[in-house]
Structure 1
């Protein structure tokens, strides 16, 4: 029986959980363990758990608190005390509000969870979340949750004392998309802004997705912002190069290299150098798949309108 959640160590303080969900999203969930203060920093919460037919298919919170992890000395990531309370509280950074990143929030009580979201466009989350989360399209319920910290651009995550975790507004995939930088680990987490096409074990592939609420003008500005940010960090003396972790597929690669590669991909798409290989009607719009011949590192799927609008700015200006 295939395990519903799999867990591996990403770096000295952070673990990667991959969820084999019913929607075929396979979201990446990052779990950073902090001792002072005793805290778990979660990057997203995935799709909410399994159907009960899979191995370890409890919800994410139960998995984190009860399932022994070999790479954590055979202990759960956040074990419970004798009264059943987890030893660490939770700070949850929401990369954006799509269903495959927020459905697990339903299992984390507001009293012991600090939830962080981007302040760039609060209305995108507060108004019509069923549609903007894509829950409505799937006929599923939206989890009930409340944002504790509407993070400003470059603001640090706070949960008690400030952590060495800095938020960056990166709209484009959605208006509320954010990235965050773990200074201690020199790891940048970018949600669904980008990721590679094929899973490490080659068992599935995913294009970089855009909903109809996406904006490729904002997206390209966000890429430039991330490139500049990473270049500044990489210029710091006697420090390791920054790694990047994504919401799917890609967890630890050189940040500068992949950001530049994705920027070039979109410039090629705008210039008409990457063919459309698939087209379908979705949410009242024509969605198209851009994919180069052979086995390209990336592919892109989204409303054709977004590319046509961006093409006017990047090619015809």
Structure 2
């Protein structure tokens, strides 16, 4: 589907990645369609309106699952009636993201853009979404889309309320900013927690029957074999006592982590 800003990629007949390759963060949001309703995992940067794309892909009601409350994941939240977030990030959604000034946010949103942006985008007045969620997510919640069940895993570290989403029907694991490739997974901000992040990485290695992993940045789709390397990384980082702020970038096969 051609679009001036978004790249829509079909994962299967009922699953789509909606990507923003024109921005340095290369953000992916994901639309999962069931029989009764659809789930949108994150809403992108907010440079353009992602609802324009989701309206073309489904006429079912859409519920937004927020992996975490950072700018590049809540950009079009205001376009949807039902948005859900883990309680750990609820305060950030309502009162603003901790640890980043609006000036820094505006600099980051406007740098290294390689595609024309819509006329509605003005970085000088850009402001992240703030508002009350429809409801709160918790670990092991099950969201039934009708013939398709999603399990919520609380995976903090990158943010206090970060969640990953496991599609039990297809074996897809959507890891948000917990696991992706090419650029480091961030756990060096004051608002992050290295210990929680490593424990969350260990947690997802215990999920059974994963067929594909979809992080929110960079390569679209990682083979589940990477989870074996994640197990090794967890053991290595703990054994070497590296799970703390200031130890730098740690590189493994297929991904890296920065503390």
TM-score, scaled relative to structure 2: 0.78
Alignment of 1:53-132 (within 5 A): 59-65=49-55, 76-78=56-58, 87-108=59-80, 110=81, 114-120=82-88, 122-126=90-94, 128-131=95-98
Q: Which one of 104, 114, 133 corresponds to residue 137 of structure 1?
A: 104
| Secondary structure in 1 matching 2:201 | helix
> Contact 1:130–1:141 (CA<8 Å) still a contact in 2?
no
Tell me how far apart the structure 2 counterparts of residues 144 and 122 of structure 1 sit (CA, whole Å). Answer: 10
C-alpha distance after superposition, 1:5-58 (max 9, x if no partner): 111111231011111354x11111111122x21x231110100134xxxxxxxx
> Contact 1:120–1:152 (CA<8 Å) still a contact in 2?
no
State whether structure 2 residue 55 is matched by structure 1 residue 43.
Answer: no
Structure index of larger Rg: 1
Structure 1 or 2: more helix by fraction: 1
Cα shift at 1:122 = 3.7
C-alpha distance after superposition, 1:215-254 (max 9, x if no partner): 12111221222112x2xx23xxxxxx53211111243333
> Contact 1:125–1:132 (CA<8 Å) still a contact in 2?
no
Matched residue, 2:226:
258
TM-score, scaled relative to structure 1: 0.65
Tell me how far apart the structure 2 counterparts of residues 243 and 133 of structure 1 sit (CA, whole Å). Answer: 32
Tell me how far apart the structure 2 counterparts of residues 15 and 167 of structure 1 sit (CA, whole Å). Answer: 19
Cα shift at 1:133 = 6.9
State whether structure 2 residue 200 is matched by structure 1 residue 243.
Answer: no
> Contact 1:291–1:299 (CA<8 Å) still a contact in 2?
yes
Seen in structure 2, the aligned counterparts of structure 1 residues 21 and 269 have a Cα distance that, compared at 3 Å, is: farther
Matched residue, 1:177:
162
- Structure 2: unaligned runs, 5 residues or longer: 107-125
Flag as ranges the 4+ runs of structure 1 deviating above 4 A.
132-136, 266-274, 286-289
Tell me how far apart the structure 1 counterparts of residues 247 and 151 of structure 2 sit (CA, whole Å). Answer: 34
Seen in structure 2, the aligned counterparts of structure 1 residues 148 and 289 have a Cα distance that, compared at 3 Å, is: same
Seen in structure 2, the aligned counterparts of structure 1 residues 133 and 175 have a Cα distance that, compared at 3 Å, is: farther
C-alpha distance after superposition, 1:45-96 (max 9, x if no partner): 100134xxxxxxxx1111332xxxxxxxxxx313xxxxxxxx2211111000
Tell me how far apart the structure 2 counterparts of residues 77 and 195 of structure 1 sit (CA, whole Å). Answer: 25
Q: Which has the higher contact order (CA 8 A, sep 6+)?
A: 2
Seen in structure 2, the aligned counterparts of structure 1 residues 158 and 136 have a Cα distance that, compared at 3 Å, is: farther
> Contact 1:99–1:133 (CA<8 Å) still a contact in 2?
no
> Contact 2:229–2:253 (CA<8 Å) still a contact in 1?
no
Matched residue, 1:300:
257
| Secondary structure in 2 matching 1:146 | coil
- Structure 1: unaligned runs, 5 residues or longer: 51-58, 66-75, 79-86, 198-205, 235-240, 275-285, 302-306, 308-317
| Secondary structure in 2 matching 1:220 | helix
Number of aligned positions between the proteins: 236
Tell me how far apart the structure 2 counterparts of residues 145 and 158 of structure 1 sit (CA, whole Å). Answer: 25
Matched residue, 1:155:
141
Tell me how far apart the structure 2 counterparts of residues 136 and 178 of structure 1 sit (CA, whole Å). Answer: 27
Alignment of 1:179-218 (within 5 A): 179-197=164-182, 206-210=183-187, 211-218=189-196
Matched residue, 2:16:
15
